Amino acid sequence: MRKSEEIRRLAAQRLREIFPKAKGWEEIPDSQLGDQRADLVVKFQMGGQEHTFVLQVGGLGQPRQIREAITRLSEIRRDLPSAHPVAVAEYIGPQSASLLRRNGFGYLDLSGNCYLAFENVLIEKEGKRNLRPSTRPLKSLFAPRATRVVRVLLVEPQHTWRLEELAKAGEVSLGHAHNVVKRLEELAWVVRGEHQRIHLAKPADLLESWCESYSYRQNGIQAYFSPERITRRLMAEIVHLAQVEGRRYAFTLHSGAALVAPHIRFPVIHCYLEGALDPFARLLGLRPGEGEGNVYLLSPYDQGVFYGRLEKGGLSVVSLPQLYADLYRYERRGREQAEYLRRETMGY
């Protein structure tokens, strides 16, 4: 992660690029504004008026950090109502961006996203991916085995857990579960209630952060061609063979989403499968594809992908959080389907 001084410098540079016709440019770092201290104040003239931007620099731009920035920006706006408060971070994802807009604040990041609304000016750029993902502080939290604990919490967000129950459900050691929960507590994403029971306080924040650190491409993926048309009949054949061979399986991406939300079409099939993929594909009469196909079998990056599977019409689908995370970075309308799924079925 970049140091705050570098983020501040690059943010000022971005503002100059956004307002190339501005005159009388002035930058005041570490500026005192009433009882508050701003990381950077930028003043310039444009359209015959002077404008003042107050920048509050964060690090990763996680929702928790953005909420803290909102508190500080609110106090700055109270003390200096004519200024335009702006949150700055290396990357501001959709959830953090939504938080800032709802509270009437601008933002910009170093990946190209920004939202600046003042007077008759509206500048908005969104959908840019994190150019320099820095997951070091969260690396241990979203390592393969650690996500077993994360997944358990997200599948049942209203449940309260004893640590032993959580470890057993996630099939991890008690010590490993303790370390993950401790990190989640530091981020204020879980809290302990009566009798030290663990409760997920901010499921949306946890899900968003997981998706920033994960891609379905972390799994082994083999492409195959089926001579059959892609239908649920072919999915049923996959299920039958998996059951005969005693393998766990679960549909994901669009084919999984189509079972959960029937209006979704699935031009290809994606299915997690235990064990060797090629022998299974041969028994189904599938031909190997070279990068492209209409049936994709996925070798799980961790067995936790099978936790909390849903049964839909006799077919198994990955859990809703896993399905959302898989879709999130899928190139073919994945983000759109992920957001629909979250809005319609997940409740957070």
130 occurs within a structural domain: no
The verdict on residue 131 lying in a domain is no
Domain end among 87, 102, 125 = 125
pLDDT tens digits, one per residue of 191-211: 998 888 999 998 988 998 899
- Which pLDDT does position 132 carry in this prediction? 61
- Domain residues for the domain of 160 are 136-213
- Which CATH number do you get for residue 318? 3.30.460
What is the arithmetic mean of pLDDT over 119-147? 76
225 and 295 fall within a common domain: yes
213, 239, 273 - which closes a domain: 213
Q: How do residues 18-58 score in pLDDT, each as one tens digit?
A: 999 899 999 999 888 777 788 999 999 998 889 999 998 87
CB 196 within 8 A of CB 161: no
pLDDT reported for residue 2: 60
Residue 67 belongs to some domain of the structure:
yes
pLDDT of the residue at 133: 57
CATH code at position 198: 1.10.10.10
Residues 41 and 107 placed together within one structural domain of the fold: yes
- Is the per-residue pLDDT at 13 higher than 70? yes
In a domain, 264, yes or no: yes
Let me know whether 120 and 144 are in one domain: no
Q: Are residues 121 and 192 in the same domain?
A: no
pLDDT at 15 over 80: yes
Average pLDDT over residues 229-244: 93
The total domain count for the chain is: 3
Domain C-terminal end among 125, 149, 180: 125
Per-residue pLDDT, 135: 46
Whether residue 277 sits in one domain with residue 221: yes
Check whether residue 263 and residue 228 sit in a common domain.
yes
Rounded percentage of the chain residues whose pLDDT exceeds 70: 96
Kindly report, residue by residue over 261-314, the tens digit of the pLDDT.
Answer: 877 778 899 999 999 999 999 999 999 987 789 999 999 999 999 999 999 999
Alpha-carbon distance values, 327 to 100, 246, 263 (Å): 25, 27, 16
Residue tagged 């994960």 (tokens): 214
Same domain for 62 and 116 = yes
Rounded distance, CA 58 to CA 68, Å? 9
Classify burial at 200, counting beta carbons within 10 Å of its beta carbon; exposed 0-12, middle 13-18, buried 19 or more: buried
The amino acid that residue 49 corresponds to is Q
Share of residues in the chain with pLDDT > 90 (%) = 59
* CATH classification at residue 37: 3.40.1350.10
Which of 45-49, 139-143, 240-244 has the lowest average pLDDT? 139-143
Based on the fold, state whether residues 241 and 289 are members of the same structural domain.
yes
* H, E, C per residue of 175-194: HHHHHHHHHHHHCCCEEECH
Instruction: Return the H-helix or E-strand segment holding 94.
Output: helix 94-102
Same-domain pairing of 190 and 309: no
